[in-house]
Amino acid sequence: FDSHLTYMLRLHTPAARTLRLVRPFASAASRVQLVASDAMYENALAQTNLTIVYFTAAWCGPCRMISPIYEQLASEHVDATFLKVDVDEMPDIAESARVSAMPTFQLVREGKLLDTIIGADAARLRSTILTHTA
């Protein structure tokens, strides 16, 4: 009886409820690459195609709001590289990019900074990406 009760309680924890809600909405693999090293970041910036870098943090509310939109843009613009940098995990990269607010988006091609967007402005992000991919 105790093991059955424990099992039933586990099914009704907040985490279990969240998992049941999220699982049906799971999508295909993300095209957004989480930056895990300085070398990965530098290699991506040197590419000839457009690279969009999204500087974010787990504690950033506006970042959580715009993240799904960033994922959608990544799926729409397959010729561009979409990176995500967690500023708490990779502070040296954020500092070298002179990022002081989240979210910040930087559009780079061949190591040259083309544009910067500060804030969770989805319309501006979309139009800026379109400008640099056309």
Residue pLDDT, tens place only, 57-111 = 999 999 999 999 999 999 999 999 999 999 999 999 999 999 999 999 999 999 9
Any domain includes 9: no
Average pLDDT over the chain, rounded to an integer: 86
Instruction: Mark out the alpha helices in the chain (DSSP H runs).
Output: 2-11, 14-22, 38-45, 61-76, 91-96, 122-133
| First-residue to last-residue Cα distance in the chain | 65
Looking at the annotation, which residues are catalytic?
A: 60, 63
> Which tokens belong to 55?
């500087």
Count of domains observed in the chain: 1
CATH for 106: 3.40.30.10
pLDDT band of 134, cuts 50, 70, 90 = confident
pTM value is 0.78
**Residue 10 belongs to some domain of the structure:** no
Residue 5 domain-assigned (yes or no): no
What percentage of the chain exceeds 70 in pLDDT?
79
Q: In which domain, by residue range, is 113 found? A: 28-133
Which of 15 and 22 is assigned the larger pLDDT?
15
CA distance 46 to 65: 29
Can you tell me the distance from the alpha carbon of 128 to that of 19, in angstroms, rounded to the nearest whole number?
Answer: 35
Beta 104-109 vs 81-86: how paired, if at all?
unpaired
* Backbone φ, ψ for residue 81 (5° rounding): -100, 130
Instruction: Determine, yes or no, domain membership for 21.
Output: no
Report if residue 62 sits inside a domain: yes
Indicate whether 41 belongs to any domain.
yes
The pair of structure tokens assigned to 52 is: 């969009």
